[in-house]
Amino acid sequence: MNNTFPEMVSAVERKITQAILVDAVPGGHQAQVSAWELKKGNWQQVYGPIPAVIGSDGLISPDKKQEGDGCTPTGVYPLGMVFGDRASLAINMPYRQATEEDFWVDDPTSTRYNLWVNGRPETETYEEMLRSDGLYCYGVVIEYNTAPVVPGKGSAIFMHIWRAPGQPTRGCVAMAKEHLVKLIAWLDPVCWPVIAIPDTKYL
C-alpha cells in the first residue's frame, strides 16, 4: 500500500481508525474496495479488495463536481447513517428505515437540496429512498457536500448495491450485496469511519 493513503486519512481527523478505500481504474468506472483498520499505529487491511463500480464518468475533484455529471467525487468523507428497507438492523452504525414517504432531494434550487426528507417534496427532482429495484435495500450515506451543503455541487452520494457487475452508478460507490452487508456489519461509529477515494491508484 502506498504510504500516501494513511497520510490522506490522518490529515482529515486523527481519531479515524476505520477507512474504506476505493481504488478506481483511471478513466473508467471499475473499482476495487477494501476495508482498513488502524492498529498500533499501522493501517492493516481487514477485508477485500472486492469488485465495485463508481460513476459512469469516473472520478472528479470536489471543486469540479456538479449535480448530474455522473462522476464520483475524490477525497475523504465521513460515513454517515446506514439505511435500508428493513425495520431494523443489528449493527453499530445509526440506522434509518426507508419508507414510501422518504425522498432525497437532488434539485439544486430547493432549500432542502441534498437532504433526506419525509413526505413527497414540492421540487423538480428527487430520489425515492425505497426503490423498487432493490439498490437501496442496504446503503450508507457518504457525507459529501453535507456540511455545508453547496447548491449544485452534487447530492445523494451513497455506498449501495450495484445494479449488476460492471454497471456504473450516477456518482455513488456500489458493489455486490453480500460485500456491502459485511462492510456495514464491520463499521463502528466509535472508530470515526471514513471512505477514502483517491484520484490515483494505491493497491
The tens digit of pLDDT for each residue in 133-149 reads 999 999 999 999 999 99
- For residue 1, what pLDDT band results from cuts at 50, 70 and 90? very low
**Which residues 6+ apart lie within 8 Å of 52 measured at CB?**
22, 31, 32, 33, 162, 173, 174, 175, 179
- Give 200 or 68, the one with higher predicted confidence: 68
- For residue 12, what pLDDT band results from cuts at 50, 70 and 90? low
Asked if the peptide bond before residue 78 counts as cis, ω within 30 degrees of 0, the response is no
